[in-house]
Structure 1
Amino acid sequence: MPTHELILVYEPEAACLARLVAAGMARARAGEIASYLAQSTDLALEFDAISDACAARGIVFRPVELDRAASVLGATDPAHAIVWTLTDGIAYFRGSAAPALARLGGVAAIGSDDSLFALCQDKFRAGAVLAALGLPVPAGGLARDGVWLAPAPASPSGYFVKPNRLGAKIGIWKDSRCTTEEQALALSRRIFAAYGDDAIVQPYVAGQNARASFLAVSPAADARDIGSVFVDAGGDFQTMEDSLALYGETRAQARSAGAYFEPALAQIAATRPQAAKHIEAIGVALMEKLGLRDVFSYDLRLEADDTVHLIEFEVCPGLPCFDFRAYCKSQWGLTLAEAMTDTAANRLLG
């Protein structure tokens, strides 16, 4: 009887760091960028748990480093395997190659269409698409090293400036919220000098930070299984410094020093049911209009009057991160390893 396989493709932090340094990037900045892949480092600690959960369902769990993905997928039986890509990336990261390789080899994949792996990592282009689909995204300008490529709209509330193609709060500092266009352009120069990236400049949106998560653990899962929570990191917005302390080796160091803490999560439906309905409606639109499926998350700002702003979406949410674990537990009553296994089993075994 053929063996069923769950193939998890991941890009290690160390491989990314070495590649960026070899390309001439300062090691400190390369390390910040590579930290985006810390979920690969964290999830590796649970490979045995995932393997055991899969084995109980008659599935072989096979974690594969991205640089080996082409050869492994080329030798895979498409009829008895499914690919789960852990990270996206088209610029500093390369994870979007994995779902494309799966499609090339005719291997089924968990997650959205591979074109969305590229779109989600370009915040400016993604925002344009989301706006065209009628979703409530803030308008944005794009600047490169102090020069407007697309001017930002006038904003009495000021601006929020961040790298266009970097996630995990990389390049978001305490002064990333600014007042004037001149200050926004100065931040774009700082971003370009540090990372060589363009900067997206959006009107500052007041409110609370929220995240919505989805995993198709059940074959019948739909937008009603989206879980939305307030994420309180103790400030108006989370910075790169805040984010670095939550994942990978930096998290381990913070824990050993007694300085580790996770942002507080609170179910939005418990106190703001109308806002939760708005967030679910956004999820429906993302699934029906954009094509998100299987596993994804999206970040939002929620105003006091329940106005919801969609900030960005992720096709590869941080699976081992505190918020996604909490979603698996609250929505499905499962550990991360169990939730991943059930999701794969439903696709592989029917």
Structure 2
Amino acid sequence: MPRNQPRLILVHEPEKACFDRLVADGYPAERATEISSYLAQSTDLAPEFEVLAAACEARGLAFASVELDEAAGVLARADRDATLVWTLTDGIAYFRGGAAPALARLNGLKTIGADDSLFALCQDKFRSGAVLGALGLPAPQAGLARNREWLVEPPASEAGWFVKPNRLGAKIGIWPDSRVADLGHALELSRRVFAHYRDDVVVQPYVAGRNVRASFLGLKPETGVEALGIAFVESGGDFQTMADSLALYGDTGGIAKAAGTYAEPVLEPVTASQPAADAIIRRIAGGLMTGLGLRDVFSVDLRVEADDTVHLIEFEVCPGLPCFDFRDYCRAQWGLGLADAMAETARTRLRP
């Protein structure tokens, strides 16, 4: 690589590295497979690293994909004036990708995405929900339970409650019975989650509506909420379970494709049927950008009711870039495939 050539470093934690570490820590193989599956974008993007390198080269950039366990040494040697670090996989509990932006900051390197404090916040649903509420954003209030004991009791709810792990990945449910009608069942789910994953559960009032994903990539530094891609995600179910996730992404998703059982959810632009809800979501995203500090690349999960009531479920600082929805967003918003969209975003930061 020529001296001082601008370089994009993509840091990622592989599924297998996470799986091996979890097994060594005493998790059964089945649980370790489920947990490490949340790093599927590392698996799904790896076959395209050469394509991404070529897209970078066409823009005068060098490219390096770096596994998380090698990141400390690589980033310590990087040229701080010519290096951009993009963290592909996050995590503070089961996963460790949240260390990458902190390492980049330690070494004075430029980064794509939010600062490292948000990498920690977004992976703790109870704490992030409290912050979102303090910012006046429409996130459901929540209780917190650990192994059949309330740490914080949830608010009353005539519609029942929704139970999800507090720190495991970013999904909104694990089992089909994650929506509950009584709090005794919620405590039983907290026992099951603790036994399987050693995690607490967030218990929120159930909110009706259709699932929505808002995706964002700031191809240029000044890009704002006008570039959000906001779509209903129709998968045939009220919410996604662990089994649903396993069938879509990573190694298990590849098995589903080979078996002919893989089926992508249907995406439908929210603005086509509920333009008022689309406008509300853009205002919410603007609040996340100005009040929380989201930038460059992120996604937001929401629920939208027929009367345009919007519920903010969670935000992600490391959206699933190789997933069907983000690829669709890059094509629709920027007219680019994923590799070219990533490379062009890096170019505008390194070679303005």
Give the TM-score normalised by the residue count of structure 2. Answer: 0.98
| Conserved? CA contact 2:13–2:68, under 8 Å | yes
| Aligned residue in 1 for 2:292 | 290
* CA RMSD of superposed structures (Å): 0.9
Task: In structure 2, list runs of 5 or more residues that go unmatched.
Answer: none
Deviations 1:292-311 (A, max 9, x none): 00000010000110000000
Query: How many percent of aligned residue pairs carry the same amino acid?
Result: 64
| Aligned residue in 2 for 1:74 | 76
**1:242-321 equivalences in 2 (<5 Å):** 242-321=244-323
Amino acid paired to 2:182: T
| Conserved? CA contact 2:121–2:127, under 8 Å | yes
**Alpha-carbon separation, structure 2, partners of 1:205 and 1:134:** 18
Deviations 1:58-81 (A, max 9, x none): 101100000000000000000000
| Conserved? CA contact 1:329–1:335, under 8 Å | yes
| Aligned residue in 2 for 1:233 | 235
| Structure 2 counterpart SS, 1:230 | strand
**Alpha-carbon separation, structure 1, partners of 2:130 and 2:254:** 38
Alpha-carbon offset, residue 170 of structure 1: 8.1
**1:185-200 equivalences in 2 (<5 Å):** 185-200=187-202
| Structure 2 counterpart SS, 1:36 | helix
| Structure 1 counterpart SS, 2:144 | strand
**Alpha-carbon separation, structure 1, partners of 2:181 and 2:35:** 27
| Aligned residue in 1 for 2:330 | 328
Deviations 1:241-287 (A, max 9, x none): 11111111111111111101000000001111100000000000000
**1:1-350 equivalences in 2 (<5 Å):** 2-169=4-171, 172-350=174-352
Alpha-carbon offset, residue 238 of structure 1: 1.2
| Conserved? CA contact 1:300–1:312, under 8 Å | yes
Alpha-carbon offset, residue 149 of structure 1: 0.3
Deviations 1:83-111 (A, max 9, x none): 00001111100001000000000000000
**Alpha-carbon separation, structure 2, partners of 1:168 and 1:160:** 14
Alpha-carbon offset, residue 168 of structure 1: 4.8
Task: In structure 1, list runs of 5 or more residues that go unmatched.
Answer: none
**Runs of 4 or more above 6 Å deviation:** none
**Alpha-carbon separation, structure 1, partners of 2:172 and 2:178:** 11
| Conserved? CA contact 1:245–1:254, under 8 Å | yes
Deviations 1:210-241 (A, max 9, x none): 01010011233111111100000101111111
What is the aligned residue count? 350
Alpha-carbon offset, residue 183 of structure 1: 0.7
**Alpha-carbon separation, structure 2, partners of 1:237 and 1:34:** 20
**Alpha-carbon separation, structure 1, partners of 2:345 and 2:102:** 20
| Conserved? CA contact 1:231–1:265, under 8 Å | yes
